[in-house]
Structure 1
Amino acid sequence: MKYYIIAGEASGDLHGSNLMKEIYRIDSNAEIRFWGGDLMQNIGGTLVKHYRDLAFMGFAEVVQNLRTILGNIKFCKKDILSFKPDVILFIDYPGFNMRIAKWARLQGFKTHYYISPQIWAWKENRIKAIKRDVDKMYIILPFEKDFYETKHQFPVEFVGHPLIDAIQNRQATDTEAFKKEFSLDSRPVIALLPGSRKQEISKMLSVMLSVTDSFPDYQFVIAGAPSQEYDFYKQFLNNKNIHFISNRTYDLLSVAHAALVTSGTATLETALFKVPEVVCYKGSWVSYQIAKRIITLKYISLVNLIMDREVVKELIQDEFNTKNLKAELQKILNPAHREKLLKDYDLLEEKLGGAGASATTAGLIFKHLT
Structure 2
Amino acid sequence: MKYYIIAGEASGDLHGSNLMKALYKEDPKANIRFWGGDLMQNVGGTLVKHYRELAFMGFVEVLFNLKAILNNIKICKKDILEFQPDVLVFIDYPGFNLRIAKWAKKLGLKTHYYISPQIWAWKESRIKDIKQDVDKMYVILPFEKSFYEDKHQYPVSFVGHPLIDAIHNYPEIDASVFRTENKLNEKPIIAILPGSRKQEIIKMLSVMLSVVNDFPEYQFVIAGAPSQEFSFYQDFISNKNIKFISNKTYDLLRNATAALVTSGTATLETALFKVPEVVCYKGSWASYQIAKRIITLKYISLVNLIMDEEVVTELIQEQCNPKRISEELKKILEPNHRKVILHNYDLLEEKLGGIGASQKTAKLIVADLN
The TM-score with structure 2 as length reference comes to 0.99
Does residue 218 (structure 1) correspond to residue 215 (structure 2)? The answer is no
Q: Which residue of 2 aligns with 1:8?
A: 8
2:35 — aligned with what? 35
2:60 matched to which residue of 1? Answer: 60
Whether the aligned pair in 1 keeps the contact of 2:219 and 2:241 (CA below 8 Å) is no
Equivalent residue letter for 2:163: L
Separation in 2, partners of 1:185, 1:234? 20
Q: Which secondary structure does the structure 2 equivalent of 1:112 belong to?
A: strand
Q: What CA distance in whole angstroms lies between the structure 1 residues aligned with 2:99 and 2:317?
A: 30
Q: Secondary structure at the match of 1:48?
A: strand
- Secondary structure (helix, strand or coil) at the match of 1:314 reads strand
Matches within 5 A, 1:329-344: 329-344=329-344
Which SS does the other structure have where 1:165 is aligned? helix
Task: Name the residue aligned to 1:23.
Answer: 23
- Corresponding position of 1:47: 47
Amino acid at match of 1:12: G
1:325 is aligned to 2:322: no
Q: Percent identity?
A: 75
SS at match of 2:300: coil
Distance 1:240 1:101 in 2: 49
| Alpha-carbon distance between aligned partners in 1 of 2:173 and 2:165, rounded to the nearest angstrom | 16
Amino acid at match of 2:103: W
Deviations 1:334-365 (A, max 9, x none): 00000000000000000001100000000000
How much does 1:241 deviate? 4.2
Amino acid across the alignment from 1:238: S
Q: What's the secondary structure of 1:191's corresponding residue?
A: strand
CA distance in 2, matches of 1:240, 1:325: 20
- How do 1:1-370 residues align onto structure 2 when only pairs under 5 Å count? 1-238=1-238, 240-370=240-370
User: Take 2:210 and 2:102, find their aligned partners in 1: how far apart are those partners?
Assistant: 45
The count of aligned residue pairs is 370
Letter in 1 for 2:45: G
Question: Which residue identity does 1:284 align to in structure 2?
Answer: S
Structure 1 residue 187, shift from structure 2 partner: 1.1
CA distance in structure 1 between the aligned counterparts of 2:173 and 2:100, rounded to whole angstroms: 39
* Structure-2 separation of matches of 1:33 and 1:242: 40
SS at match of 2:171: coil
**Aligned-CA RMSD value:** 0.6
Q: Aligned equivalents of 2:57 and 2:129: distance in 1?
A: 22
Give the whole-Å Cα distance in 1 for the aligned partners of 2:236 and 2:173: 29
Instruction: Give me the whole-angstrom Cα distance separating, in 1, the residues matched to 2:113 and 2:175.
Output: 37
> SS at the partner of 1:251?
helix
Q: Which deviations, in whole Å up to 9, do the C-alpha atoms of 1:223-268 show, x marking residues without a partner?
A: 0000000111111223554110000000000000000000000000
SS of 1:283's equivalent in the other structure is coil
Partner of 1:3, secondary structure, is strand
Call closer, same or farther: CA 1:20–1:97 in 2, change over 3 Å. Answer: same
Write the distance in 2 (CA, Å) between the matches of 1:81 and 1:71: 16
State how far apart, in whole Å, the 2-side matches of 1:173 and 1:92 are.
Answer: 31
Give distance in 1, aligned partners of 2:334 and 2:239: 29
Q: Secondary structure at the match of 1:220?
A: strand
Amino acid at match of 2:27: D
What is the distance in 2 between the residues matched to 1:64 and 1:238? 32
Other structure's SS at 2:138 match: strand
Q: Which amino acid aligns with 1:352?
A: L
Secondary structure, in 3 states, of the residue corresponding to 1:82? helix
Aligned AA (1:174): D
Whole-angstrom distance in 2 between the partners of 1:183 and 1:56: 33
SS in 1 for 2:5: strand
Question: How far is 1:29 from its partner?
Answer: 1.2
Q: Distance in 2 between matches of 1:186 and 1:241?
A: 12
CA apart distance, 1:291: 0.1
Once the two structures are superposed, residues 44-103 of structure 1 have per-residue CA deviations (whole angstroms, 9 ceiling, x without a partner) of 000000000000010011000000000000010000000000000000000000000000
Name stretches of at least 5 consecutive residues in structure 2 with no aligned partner.
none
State the shift of 1:173 in Å. Answer: 1.6
In 1, the alpha carbon distance for the partners of 2:261 and 2:21 equals: 29
Contact 2:57 2:199 in 1 (8 A): yes
Deviation by residue 1:290-324 (Cα, 9 ceiling, x = unmatched) = 00000000000000000000000000011000000
1:140 CA drift (Å)? 0.2
Query: What letter matches 1:22 in structure 2?
Result: A
Equivalent AA in structure 1 for residue 231 of structure 2: D
Q: With the length of structure 1 as denominator, give the TM-score of the two structures.
A: 0.99
CA distance in 2, matches of 1:154, 1:221: 44
